[in-house]
Amino acid sequence: MELLSNTKNGLYCEMADVYIDPWRKVQKALITHGHSDHAKPGHSQYMCHKNSVSILKHRIGKNIKVRGYNFGESISINGVKFSFHPAGHIIGSAQVRVEYKGEIWVVTGDYKLGDDEVCTPFEPIKCHTLITESTFGLPIYKWESPGNVFNQINQWWAENKANKQTSVIYAYSLGKAQRILKHLSKDIDKIYAHASIYNTNKTLIEHGIYDTHCEELSPKTADLNGALIITPQSSTALKNINQTHSIKTAMASGWMATRNTRKNRLIDKGFVLSDHADWDDLLTAIASSEAERVIVTHGYQEAFARYLSELGLKAETYKTAFEGESTLK
């Protein structure tokens, strides 16, 4: 029997009767992070890193049964040892380490390398089998330094302000929005966030795991000249504003690395900023795990697994529920 297997409900540890990021309702679920393709509603019992507790309650429901753990804290179920370790993806994001009789598996969940100054940076965990995501598992994905990208964002705002325009950045309400807000220039005096982002921030701030200053955007917000608005792209909040103000739109996402996605989204500007590892960082993370067997999920699994096989690794794929780095949630 394998320590973890891919079932119709999701990744399963039969020995402990526990699922990891299951996509159907189960009894016990270990959750890597709060994004909706990982944290589904309806499980009887949730276990996650302690910083994900308030996020899960905010997004799934305040009455869910959830228990939070520190990084590295050992959870023993039927003799199987589980623990959460930093994944560096968003606040509260964790890899799950599973150990049984000396055999170690690690499930990365979503991750990126480097310090984004918002969440705990990724920590490589040694294991025999690594289950890795592959959202950007193609060699065309290579990120520039985030510092450069934030400079570009701040310069873009300054140009728009000089032209008396309102800057609108489309960003995912959990993760990307907090990261951008953290790195906006101090010169930007008017920052407004769409309710979904504003309320997420409020929850995080209340729990002492994030800090930012911005106001909630409402149809009554009048003073938008030179302001910066951060909102998910699906939002209709901009409709009223669009008619009375000249706006410039931008999106911050890893997908902005390809010209077609920029064109299809009808936006003025694309900033390449991702909370996932790029090609090089995926390879770095895999190498530092020292895993001899790699199971690729969540993205370009076929192509990426083929490449890993060429490197001499034992590589396989699992298909998982996957929404990638969408801005629509």
Residue 2: CB partners within 8 Å, gap ≥ 6?
none
Choices 104-112, 192-200, 217-225, 242-250 (CB under 5 A): range interacting with Zn ion: 104-112
Q: What is the DSSP string of 15-66?
A: TTTEEES-SS--SEEE-S-SSTTTS-TT-SEEEEEHHHHHHHHHHH-TTS-E
Instruction: Write each residue from 159 to 198 as x if it is in contact with Zn ion (CB under 5 A), else as -, in one continuous string.
Output: ----------------------------------------
- The least distance separating Zn ion from the CB of residue 110, rounded to whole angstroms, comes to 4
The answer to whether 59 and 217 have CB atoms below 8 angstroms apart is no
C-alpha–C-alpha distance, residues 278 and 180, integer Å: 19
Residue among 21, 35, 141, 180 that touches Zn ion (CB under 5 A): 35
Within 108-137, the residues that bind Zn ion by CB under 5 A are 110
Choices 16-24, 28-36, 162-170, 223-231 (CB under 5 A): range interacting with Zn ion: 28-36
- The least distance separating Zn ion from the CB of residue 76, rounded to whole angstroms, comes to 27
The answer to whether 106 and 130 have CB atoms below 8 angstroms apart is yes
Strand-pair category, 293-299 with 269-271: unpaired
- The least distance separating Zn ion from the CB of residue 263, rounded to whole angstroms, comes to 25
Residue 81: CB partners within 8 Å, gap ≥ 6?
74, 75, 97, 98, 99, 100
- The least distance separating Zn ion from the CB of residue 292, rounded to whole angstroms, comes to 25
Residue (35 or 194) nearer to Zn ion, CB: 35
* 49 touches Zn ion (CB under 5 A): no
Residue (33 or 262) nearer to Zn ion, CB: 33
Q: What is the largest CA-CA distance in the chain?
A: 65
Residue (99 or 110) nearer to Zn ion, CB: 110
Residues in contact with Zn ion by the rule CB under 5 A: 35, 37, 110
